[in-house]
Amino acid sequence: MLLEILTVAATATAPTDPSQLPPKTVSPLIVTAQPKAAPPADATVAIDSDDDAPGAQHVSVWPAGAWAAKIDGHVTLTCFVDAHGLAERCRVAYETPQGRGFGAAALELQPTLKVTPLKGADGQPLAANMNIALTFKAPKPQDNVQQLIQATNPRAGRDAAWQDLDVRQNPISLRAVVMMNHPVWVKAPDFDELTKAYPARGGGAEGYAVAHCEVLRTGDLTRCVVSKEEPTGRGFATAALTLAAQFRISPEVMKYAPHGAPIEVDIPIRLPPPGAVDRTVTAPAWVAGVDPEAAPKLFPPEAAAKGVTSGRGTAKCLVTPDGTLADCAPESADPGGLGFSEAAVKLASTMRMNLWSSDAEPVEGGVVHVAIRLNLDPATN
């Protein structure tokens, strides 16, 4: 009975004029339709499915349904490409056919993408957004199947030159795996180990290779192969496999990894010649950033006293073996002389980076310049 009374009362007092209803705040949602045509490509990549792939590098990521149905796919990724040509961040800009999983597969391949970067007015490589077009070529039946049948038929006699038969377009075997994105490393090679791994046949060129490995539940890696190597034939693949044995993923992360299909990971590795190794970390992948609660408390009082509400300070730090920052020292600040760089030193000491950078190099033992902006009013953060 009480419920009925409350219901009637609520109904009786509810406004009937929509203008009298309280306003509703709805979060804006922007949905962008896929363009009718792919945007112009700045670079192209072919994802092969058979063992005629150049360099015999037989690791590809494919949507299983499209593979079984022998459907080709085309994807354009818009990626932030650094000056080394590595795709650091990507999104799907175009995909056809839709609903077949090609866009998701292309994103899984992002760690393996290395293209020619754009150049600035001075002719130097430029970090910028680029459109990378990926073409997935479906597996094809062998185009000489009849020759193969005839050559292996006992009735064909000795005239069948089966030993000279070239078997072409043999599809790479497909298996279900779980690809790990953005692995958190607790162990990775340092700069000295990277320098030591440079191959004798490197000839002073910068090498690049991607190690594709299975991840054990302990975080250790096994069954590593090279899925990409540039340039080929100079020993960079072997160097990458040597370095891959020194990686380990956080066991804490592996506790949450799914069970069932094998978990695999791609490790992009840049191998500059020994004399060109730069120990400055320019593309850190942060595991722990600035503490949002600590930052407002460290706003310089001398800046606040002068009515300054925002400033930027830079700290120069050494990266330790666990990715934390040590031996931090104040550098430049804007505005200067008001304590912003000193505050940056205190905040940087609480940060931690992944042990492999976004531009495919070590961080342990390197130097990083951390720029931090501080705002007096938390609402402006």
State the DSSP string of 164-232: G-----PBPPP---EEPPS--EEE---HHHHHHHS-GGGTTPPEEEEEEEEE-TTSBEEEEEEEEEEST
Question: Residue 316 contacts by C-beta under 8 Å, 6 or more apart in sequence?
Answer: 328, 329, 330, 331, 367, 368, 369, 370
Residue 86 is predicted with a pLDDT of 94
Contact (CB, 8 A) for 120 and 89: no
Bridging pattern class, strands 87-96 and 185-187 = unpaired
Residue 128 is predicted with a pLDDT of 96
Residue 358 is predicted with a pLDDT of 94
Closest CA to 223 of 210, 236, 240, 211: 211
Residue 312 and residue 370: Cα distance in Å, rounded? 10
User: Per-residue confidence of the chain (381 residues) as pLDDT tens digits?
Assistant: 222 322 222 333 344 554 555 555 556 666 667 888 999 999 999 887 665 554 444 567 888 889 888 899 999 999 999 999 999 999 999 999 999 999 999 999 998 999 999 999 999 999 999 999 999 988 776 555 555 556 556 555 545 444 454 444 555 667 788 999 889 999 999 999 999 999 999 999 999 999 999 999 999 999 999 999 999 999 999 999 999 999 999 999 999 999 988 999 999 999 999 988 899 999 999 999 988 888 888 999 999 999 999 999 999 999 999 999 999 999 999 999 999 999 999 999 999 999 999 999 999 999 999 999 999 865 544
Domain 43-136 class in CATH: alpha beta
Cis previous bond, 335, omega within 30 = yes
Token pair recorded at residue 378: 């938390």
Contact (CB, 8 A) for 60 and 48: yes
Residue 154 and residue 374: Cα distance in Å, rounded? 81
Domain 286-380 class in CATH: alpha beta
Helices (H), 236-368: 236-244, 251-254, 294-297, 301-305, 340-348
Residue 56 is predicted with a pLDDT of 40
Residue whose structure tokens are 């976004």: 358
Same fold, 43-136 and 178-276: yes
pTM: 0.78
In the chain, domain spans = 43-136, 178-276, 286-380
Bridging pattern class, strands 185-187 and 248-249 = antiparallel
Closest CA to 364 of 353, 372, 374: 353
The domain made up of 178-276 is a member of CATH 3.30.2420.10: yes
Token pair recorded at residue 64: 């299983």
DSSP 227-261: EEEESTTSSHHHHHHHHHTT-EE-HHHHTTSPSSS
> Quick check: helix, strand or coil at residue 87?
strand
Closest CA to 117 of 129, 106, 135: 129
Contact (CB, 8 A) for 130 and 79: yes
Residue 289 and residue 98: Cα distance in Å, rounded? 37
Neighbours of 151 (CB within 10 A): 17
| Structure confidence by residue, pLDDT tens digits, 294-303 | 888 899 999 9
